[in-house]
Structures are given as C-alpha cells and as structure tokens.
Structure 1
Amino acid sequence: MSRFHCKTHLIIAVFTLLVMGCANSVFADSTVERLKDEIKDTRQTVKAQKQELLKLTREERSMFGELAAIEDRILNVERELFRQEDDLAGIMEDEQAAKTDQRVLEGELDEIVDKLRSMLTKIWPIHSRKLENKFGSLEDWEEADRKFVWLASLYNDTKVELDKAREKAGQITANLEVQKDLRSKAESKLSEINVTKDNLLNDKLSLLSGIKGIRALKISREQELKGLLETINKLNYRLKSLTSKKIANFKGSLPRPCVGDIKFRFKPSAKPPVRGIGIKTAGNIDVKSIFWGKVVHNDTLRGFGRVVIIYHGYNYYSLYAYLAESFVKTGQEVEKDEIIGKTGYYPNLKETGLYFELRFHQKPVDPQKWLARN
C-alpha cells in the first residue's frame, strides 16, 4: 500500500502545475450567471406552483364544505322521506279501514233499503185504496183517525229511513274521496322527496368526482413542487461551489463516491498505513465524483487497477482506485455526482470495492470527516 501512495503522491505532484492554470475554467463566470438565472426561474415556477396549490386547497376545502352541506340536506330529506313513508302507510291503513267501514255502511244501507222496501210494500196498497175511495167510507171516525195516525207514523218512519240511507251513501262517498285525495297527495309528496334525494345524490357524486380530480392534481403539483425544490437545492449547491471555488466549504456534506460498506478506515499511523478508506460494494457499481473538478489522471497503476484522480481547486484532490473501467478522459471537467467509472476487484477485500483518498497539499486527510453521513 505504501508504494501505491508514493506513486500517487508523485502523480499528484506532476499534475499540480498543469491543472492550476485550468482551475478557473471549472468555475467560469458564465456558468455562475447561468446557474443564477436557472435558480431565479425555478423559484418563480415554485412561487406559481405554491399559488396554484393554495388555490386548489381552497377549492378542495370549499367543495368539502358544500359536500358537508349536501350530506346534511340528504339526512334531512331522508328523515322527511321516512316521515312521508310513515304517513303514506298510515293513510293506506286508514284507506283500508275506510274500505272496511264502506262494507259496513253498504250492509247497513242494504238493510235500510230492505226495510224501506217492506214499508213501501205495506204503505202502497193502503195509499192506493185511499186514492181510489178518497176516504169515502168514514162511517167510523175513530177508526179513520187511527188509520190516519198509523199511516202518518209509517210515512214518517219511511222518511227517516230514507234520510238515513241518503246520509250513509253520502258518508261512503265522502270517505272514499278523502282517502283518495290523501293518498294522491302522499304519493305526490313521496315522489317529490325522492326526486330531491336523487338530485342531492347526483350533486354529491359530482362533488366527490371534483374533489378526486382536485386531489389528484394537488398530488401531481406537490410532486412537481418537490422536484423543483430539489432542483433549487442542487443548483444552490452547485452555485455555492462555483462562486466560492472552495471544496472546503462543503466539508462534512460531500457525497460518497459509491454505495457500500466501509471496511478499511483512515489510519495513517498503522503499519502499513491506510491513507484512505476501502469500500466494499455489491458487484460492479457506479463510482461518482464527489465534487466539481478536472480529471488530472486516468490510467492503470500496477497492482491497483485503474486509477482516476480529480483536482478540485485550492490544492484538493480526490483519488479513486481499483476501478474496473473509467468513463472519463484526462483533462475532462466533471460535475458533482457525475459517474466516472465502475468498481472493480479489490485484492485486500477479495471482492469488488473501491479505494478512495482525499488529499490536501499532497497530504492525505480523513475522507470520513468530509463525506456526508448516510
């Protein structure tokens, strides 16, 4: 390992003077202005998205208010519907009772008619004889008087029975008309309430559909807003780097060069010394640049596979060893998080991994103090 670090030290020293003149190109003023414009435009878009979200939220709340009001009205209508159904059931019971009363009245009327028929049968012959003789035989005044009183009483009883018959017939007709009218009104009211309920249910379904649409639109806008805010964070991160030109400002927040478990930690005093970290990976995975910079070395080094070294300005370098392959060229400017290669076989781990160093003024520094914690 020490021989490896001597060679990398030499490589860094050779390329230091070559890249110093190019450092400013990494942080060009035009790029800074472009980033500022992008951030400004994105913030304006974020503002518009927030206003739209607020508008959608207000619409949603308003719809929920309308929905609550409709549900209250539906409950009231259902209560009224139940009352009307009870009323209709009562009317139908009354109608049934009226029909029963009608049968009783019709029976009573039949009895009255029979009685009248009997009375008339008795009265008519006498009445006919009187018309014929015109009370011509009044030999016995008392007998005639008795007949006259009897006939008057019989006529009077007949008249009473006829009046009863008329009254019963009127009661039957009036009773049926009342029941018919009540039932018609109850059915009409029930139908009207059902129509109202159907209309309210349709309004409720329409509101629910509208709320569903607004909610879906809100979710979409919230996701867009989240993406925009992430974009602003990334642009600010990049702008901060370009304007300050100092990787030191990002100490403790630099991304890891790859995903994996750290198996070898920084121990420069160990024998042999460990001047970086060894990361175990699950197969050949992407290796990314931890910061903006310029590739100053991209070649194989005996015993350490392919090695890429990136200069980040102000005498800071990052070194990536045991790469299976690299996707950059010497002199190429790279972005933060740009993929520069794939992890390869790491002899000390006896499986795939990455050896990573971070150096300042040619001296190794503990990478874990610079990298963000996962």
Structure 2
Amino acid sequence: MHNVSFRQILLVAATLLAFFTLSASYSMADDSAVSKIREAINDQKQNIQKQKQVLLKLTREERDMFGELASIEDRISDIERKLFKSEDELTKIVAEEKSAKEKHAVLQEDLDKIVGNLKMMLAKLWPIHSRKLENKFGSLEDWESSDRNFVWLASVYKDAKAELTKAENQSKMIFENLEVQKELRIKSEKKLTAINKTKDLLLKDKLSLLSGIRQIRSMKMSREEELKALLDTINKLNYKLKSLTSKKILNFKGELPAPCDGKVKINFDPSAKPPVRGEGFETNGNINVKSIFWGKVVHNDTLRGFGRVVIIYHGYNYYSLYAYLSESLVKTGQEVEKDEVIGKTGYYPALKGTGLYFELRFHQKPVNPEKWLSR
C-alpha cells in the first residue's frame, strides 16, 4: 500500500471540485442556450400564427370583396342587357320619328301643289265671276255662249271643289302626322331619360368595380392614369343628353365663363415636370364654383390627388373637372345648367390656400382652358 500525503489528497479534491464546478457551469450554459432557442421558437410560432390569422383575415376579406365584385359584375351585366334592349327600342322610335318627318315632308309638298292648283283655278274663276256679277250672266240672246260658259264654269268649280277636298284631306293627314311625331318625340324623350338613369346606375357600379379591383390588386396608378380610367368608363356609356341637342360646347369656344371668381395662379403646361393639365385659381375664401356649360354630373366623389372632385359631361365627348372642393352641391346623374353653382372652393395644396383646380378635356385628352374661357 502506497503512502499518500495530505497534500496529494487536497490536490485531488481540488481537481475534482474544479471539474464538477466546470461541468455544472457548462450544464447551466447549455440550459440557458436551449431555453433561449426554445423562447425564440415559441416567439416565431406565435408570429407565424399571427401572420396566418392576418392572412386568413385578408383572404376572407379578399374573398368577400371578390364576391361583392362578382355581384357587381352580375348586376352590371343585367343592367347592360336591359340597356341594350332600351337603346334598341330608342333606335326604333327614332327611326319611326324620322319616317314620320319624311312622310310629313311629302304630305306638305303634295299640299303645296294642291294649294298651287287652287290658286290657279281661283285666278281663272275670279274675273269671270266678277263679270257675271256685273252683267247678271250676260244677255239671254247669247244663250249658247252663256251655256258654254256655264258648263265650263261648272267643270272648273267641280275641279276646284275636288282640289279643295284634297287640300282638306291632306291637311288632316298632316295634322295626324304631326300628332304622331309629337307622341314619338315624347316617347323618345321618356326612353332617353330612362336610359340615362340606367346608365347612372351602371356608372355607379362600374366605378365601384374599378375601386374594388384597385384595392384587391393594390394597383399603383398615377392620378392621371386613374382619371383616364374614370373618363374611359364614363365615355363608354355614350350618354346622350336632351338638353344638349341644340347646345354644342364647341360653338362657345372662347366664350365660356370662368368656373369661379379668382386669379389664375397655375397655368396649363402639359410639358412641365410634373405636367400641368389644367389651371389653378386662387380664391378669396370658400366661394361658389359654377358649371361652365350645360351638362350632366358623372362624378361626385374624392379622387386621389385631387381631393373632392366634380366631373361634368357636356356632350360630344367634352368634360370639365373641378377639384379641391370643400363641398359639392350636386349629385351624380344630375343635369346642370350653365353657370349653376355646383360646389365651394376648398384648400388647394399647391397654392397653400383656398382655390380651384380646373380641367377641360376632349375624350381623355386635356385641352388648354385659356382658349375656351372668356377673360
């Protein structure tokens, strides 16, 4: 048996103690690392779960929105079917009205001929009638001559009476034709009013559809692209307005009133960067904004980059746009008069005060308002 010193025992004990301490510290470090990893995994799981819930919610919302859009599309299809039918009916009414007008022209021409014949007969009869009144039908000694005159006069009177009867019948037919035209015109106007109301509903649904599609697809459209898409949608509806049949905006070029009182601070400059496609009016507070011409309100809502906007269709593919309104006083589908108040000016960011941004467009292309407005 070997002799072991106390010092050796202490050294072995110290070594063992150090080993166990080191092992314990390694074990604690391992536990801490594992704990952190587990916490990170749990956090990740929670984040994934949250993302899944958000994704599920968005999916449901998207599905609901697509369902709503599908419903709108179905409604649009139904309205368009009714619209096509109504427009076909209107085309037939217009054709009937045209035919009635053509018939009226023929009847009037025939009546003019009849009246001409009557005038010629009267021109022949009147001198003879006057002479007979003077000499009491002449001398009885000239009986043969008087008899011939009498027979001739009777024949002329008979022809004149026949022509007069023709004239009366022709006048009656013309009167009846005018009544038919009147009924067709009333029918046409009613049908046109109904068609435009249907188009108003269609426009509302199509704009909702455009808005919904943009939201779902997160479409990054410039405000010009958005405005063009809007005008294209309106243009395809092909509105025909009763009030504009005799009022063409093109005939008033250079004579249109300014949309509001104020100074033009921003001028039309499509080549600028960014392009300026209209004019900016600086105003003294929230003042009246007026329609520059007769037309129909086809948009009355906010539009990205323009604030509250009213767009008026003036017929023949001309539109006017009034932006940065503090309020609008019209409704979509409403027909407005020239100089009618449609809203109030609001805050115009580019001018850092109250004002109005105004555009005039042909189809979707902006035109220089300076050439159209009277100064």
TM-score by length of 1: 0.41
Decide which structure has the larger Cα Rg and report it: 1
More contact order relative to length (CA 8 Å, sep ≥ 6): 1
TM-score by length of 2: 0.41
